[in-house]
Structures are given as structure tokens and as C-alpha cells.
Amino acid sequence: MNFLAHFGELAIRRFVAIRHLAAVSVAVLRAAIHPRQWSPSVRTVFARQILFTGVEAVPFVSLMAVTIGILVVLQAQVWLNRFGQSNLVGPILVFIILRAAGPLLTNFVVIGRSGSAITTELANMKVSGEIDLLDAQGIDPFVYLVVPRALSTALCVFCLAIVFTFVSLLTGYVLGFFVGGGSPGSGALFADVLRAIHPVDVFNLMAMTLVPGLMTGIICVISGLSVGSSVTDVPQAVSRGVMGSVAALFVTLAIVSLLTYF
């Protein structure tokens, strides 16, 4: 009975958390479509968050994509061409890069780099009383703090996934061209990839980046705003935000894959 009670309590807490996440997500999307919510101050926060989450992360994502291009794209070309299976290069690279590695790794970068920063920033604002100050000045904390951070995180994950995919394929193409002695077959990488891409892959990329990115922003914001008045609550909030974002990422990727390809 104690085990059942504990399991039921855990299930109820998870259900309440998921319901809260869904409610905040709907509220963010509803606020995003109203132009009157996008005041100059909100647009400034949105632009700064895109700069930090997206633009400043491009060099690291590009470096990671170059590494994946060397380890995966180049080896796939060389080995499949060696065994006379060059027609499989496109499908394999679409499966590895576009459907799996791109969305997964870019989400991890944003969670570790920007998600933790968002949670820390808002938690410190909550502890220092800045949230109450914004409310006293007539500024809606939800519109000013939550909406721009959640939307910018989703948009940046999507754009970074595109950058990652392009750079990794370009790296593999260039190296494969030189390794293959400049043969025409090594230059057909992009044609093979384009032939292997289907409309469902585009939907898959959008779902695996925009949805987890939005949830990452919302989970990290909720974790940051849930702290008490003690500074020692901040590290715990960061841990909850990161772990919750990773869990939401895995669940989302699994659901999207099941709905898309089965």
C-alpha cells in the first residue's frame, strides 16, 4: 500500500507539472500573436535573447558540426562508395544528421548554455525582489520575462539545427571531394541528400526543434521563478530546469519519431 501511495503521489505530481507546462505554453503562444503585447521593451528582450541563445552559439555549433561532418559524413561517403553502395549515402546522412544528430545536439547546446543561464537570471531576479519591482511598476512579468525568452529559445534551436546540418554536410562534401581525388561521385553528396529528403523530414525537423526549444524556455523560466527568498535555492532551480528540459526533450523526440515514421 505504501508503494502504491507513493506511486500515485508521484503520478499526480507529474500530471500537475505537465498540465502547468501545457497551460503556460498555450498562454505564451496566445500572447505571442497579439501585437499589443510586443512593446519596445519586450522586443528588446526578445532581440537580446536571440543574440545570446542563437547568434553567439553559432561558432560552437559550427565547430561541433565540423566534427560530426568529419566523423560521420566523410566516413559514410568513403565506406559506402568503397563497397559500391553510393546510392545509400543520401538516406543514411538524412537519417543521422537531419533526423537525429542535428535536433538532438542543438537542443543539448541550448539547454546547457542558455537554459541554465535563463534559470539563473530569473532566479536571482526573484531572490533580489526585481520581479516584485516590475509588477509594482505596472509591467506584466509574464509578458516581459516569459514570452520573449520562450519564443526566442524555440526559434534559435530551429535555426541552429539548420546551421548544424548545413555545416556538417558541407564539411563532409569538401573532405570527401578531396579524399576522393575530386571525382564526380564525391561531389554528388548534396544531390543524394536532397533526393532522400521527404516532406515528412521537414516536419520532423521543425517538430524536433521548435517544440523542445519552446518547452526548454518555459521549463527554465518556471524553475527560475519558483525559487524562494534564499540564494541557496538558485543552484537547485538550475538543476531542476536543466533536468526537466532534458526529460522533455527525450519525451518529445520519442513522440515525434513515433508519430512521423510509424
- CA neighbor of 167 nearest in space, from 51, 80, 68, 52: 68
pLDDT band at 81 (very low <50, low <70, confident <90, very high): low
Percent of the chain with pLDDT over 90: 41
Query: For the residues of 14-71, what is the DSSP string, one character each?
Result: HHHHHHHHHHHHHHHHHHHT-GGG--HHHHHHHHHHHHHHTGGGHHHHHHHHHHHIII
Specify the higher pLDDT residue, 76 or 15: 15
Residue 18, domain extent = 2-261
Cα separation values, 223 from 93, 154, 239, 242, Å:
37, 17, 9, 9
Q: Tell me which range, 17-21, 59-63, 187-191, 253-257, is most confidently predicted by mean pLDDT.
A: 59-63
Q: Scanning the structure block, which residue is given the C-alpha cell 496566445?
A: 30
pLDDT band at 51 (very low <50, low <70, confident <90, very high): very high
Based on the structure, what is the number of domains in the chain? 1
Scored b (16 or more CB within 10 A) or e, 215-245 reads bbbbbbbbbbbbbeeeeeebeebbebbbebb
pLDDT tens digits, 31-44: 888 888 898 989 99
